[in-house]
């Protein structure tokens, strides 16, 4: 139901907006939502920290860019290749890495992110190095080119809706319960007969899949990519989106991605102090809504309802 409303809202927004600037902004919010959604499955639900998520974003983007720009593949052929490569690498990385936990897993994924970034930057024959890779063709469906702002908007947000539906179904299934169980106590989850190692690897692969998908869309919509888009700061920004939006909340990914994408745009008026205000906003949100925006706003709403004399029926813990 919520997803239908969401899809209708997107449809109307696409029809109502005309400014290219707004389309571009919304498209980026969509791409960031995909990234945050993937990381939220890993971090919010399964409780595994990844500080190298931009690597999968980059692998998705660069695979499709190289295949289409250098080898003249059709983007639709490059898409499965990009996704497959990212998922494969995620599997290989996860095998040894997910034996780690907590800070150590964070360090490990951080290292992986750095390695990927350096590889992209230094392997200039293929990737164009620091000067980036140009000439990535736009997406096409038959004769229709999807290069206009509105088309990009619909492609990205259509993918987001699909991602939401898939993840929501997953979260409410027995697998979703198992993921949350790993988050709470890996040992207890193990005693329930949950194959925790396998499940952690699977969710890591899922989140790499979503990140690579975001990378694919980014590469074809912007048609130019450079290593800096996929550096360490991007990984951190994705983590911030998840934490600010709300861990273990699918809609929190949307909220977090929206805020983190829009904030720099709004804060231009502070010019020199932009980054200071940016940091302050994040601090204030974390201090007053430590559970993230989604849970925090829901709590405020429930509290106000109670104050108005209507007893709240939802239990909180």
Partner 1 sequence: MLRIRNLKCYYGRIRAINGVSLSVKPREMVALIGANGAGKSTLLQTICGLLPGWEGDMRYEKEPLSGLRPPEIVRRGISLVPEGRLLFPPMSVLDNLKLGAYLRYRRREQAAINGDLEHVLDLFPVLRERARQPAGTLSGGEQQMLAIGRALMARPRLLLLDEPSMGLAPFLVKLILDILVQLKDDGMTILLVEQNARAALQVADRGYVLENGHIVLDGPADELLADQDVKRAYLGKDYREFYDGRA
Subset of residues 206 to 235 that bind partner 1, contact rule: CB under 8 A? none
Q: Which helix (H) or strand (E) holds 8?
A: helix 2-16
Helix (H, G, I), strand (E, B) or coil at 217: helix
Phi, psi of 246 (to 5 degrees): 130, 120
Q: Does 178 bind partner 1 (CB under 8 A)?
A: yes
At residue 88, φ and ψ (nearest 5 deg) are: -65, -45
Q: Which is nearer to partner 1, 225 or 248 (CB)?
A: 248
Q: Report the residue from 5, 72, 142, 184 that binds partner 1 according to the rule CB under 8 A.
A: 184
Residue number with CB closer to partner 1 (141 or 188): 188
Nearer to partner 1, 69 or 182 (CB): 182
Report the residue from 8, 12, 88, 192 that binds partner 1 according to the rule CB under 8 A: 192
How many residues lie near partner 1 (CB under 8 A)? 19
Q: For partner 1, which residue of 22, 70, 121, 177 counts as binding (CB under 8 A)?
A: 177
For 51, list phi and psi in degrees, rounded to 5: -105, 20
Of 29-37, 100-108, 147-155, 173-181, the window that binds partner 1 (rule: CB under 8 A) is: 173-181
The conformation of residue 134, written as its DSSP 8-state character, comes to E
Q: How far is CA 163 from CA 34, 110, 131, in A?
A: 7, 25, 32
Contact 47, 224 (CB under 8 A): no
CB-based contact 137:143 (threshold 8 Å): no
Q: Is 150 a residue that touches partner 1 (CB under 8 A)?
A: no
Closer Cβ to partner 1, 60 or 246, answer by number: 246
Q: How much of the chain is in helix, strand and coil states, percent to nearest 5? A: 80, 5, 20
Residue placing its CB nearer to partner 1 in the complex, 46 or 259: 46
Q: Which run of H or E residues covers position 265?
A: helix 250-266
Q: Taking contact as CB under 8 A, which single stretch among the options 124-132, 141-149, 181-189, 267-275 is the one that binds partner 1?
A: 181-189
Asked if 181 interacts with partner 1 (CB under 8 A), we say: yes
Which of 3, 195 has the CB closer to partner 1?
A: 195
Task: Give the binding site for partner 1 (CB under 8 A).
Answer: 174, 177-178, 180-181, 184-185, 187-195, 315-317
């Amino acid at each position: 139901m919520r997803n239908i409303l969401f899809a209708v809202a997107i449809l109307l927004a696409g029809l109502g907006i005309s400014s290219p600037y707004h389309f571009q902004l919304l498209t980026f919010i969509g791409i960031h939502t995909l990234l945050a959604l993937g990381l939220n499955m890993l971090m919010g639900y399964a409780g595994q920290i990844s500080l190298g998520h931009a690597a999968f974003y980059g692998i998705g983007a660069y695979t499709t860019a190289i295949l289409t720009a250098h080898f003249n593949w059709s983007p639709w052929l490059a898409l499965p290749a990009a996704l497959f490569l990212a998922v494969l690498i995620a599997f290989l990385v996860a095998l040894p890495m997910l034996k780690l936990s907590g800070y150590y897993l964070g360090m490990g994924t951080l290292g992986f992110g750095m390695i990927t970034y350096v590889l992209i930057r230094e392997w200039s024959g293929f990737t164009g190095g620091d000067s980036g890779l140009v000439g990535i063709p736009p997406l096409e469906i038959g004769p229709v080119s999807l290069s206009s702002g509105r088309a990009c908007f619909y492609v990205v947000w259509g993918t987001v809706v699909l991602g939401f539906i898939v993840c929501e179904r997953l979260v409410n299934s027995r697998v979703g319960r198992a993921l949350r169980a790993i988050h709470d106590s890996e040992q207890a989850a193990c005693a329930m007969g949950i194959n925790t190692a396998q499940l952690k690897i699977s969710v890591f692969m899922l989140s790499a899949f979503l990140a690579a998908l975001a990378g694919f869309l980014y590469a074809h919509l912007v048609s130019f990519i450079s290593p800096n888009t996929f550096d360490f700061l991007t990984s951190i920004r994705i983590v911030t989106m998840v934490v600010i939006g709300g861990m273990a909340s699918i809609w929190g990914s949307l909220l977090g991605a929206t805020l983190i994408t829009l904030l720099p745009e709004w804060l231009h008026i502070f010019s020199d102090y932009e980054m200071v205000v940016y940091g302050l906003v994040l601090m204030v949100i974390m201090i007053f809504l430590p559970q993230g925006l989604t849970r925090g706003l829901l709590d405020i709403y429930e509290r106000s309802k109670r104050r108005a004399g209507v007893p709240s029926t939802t239990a909180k813990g």
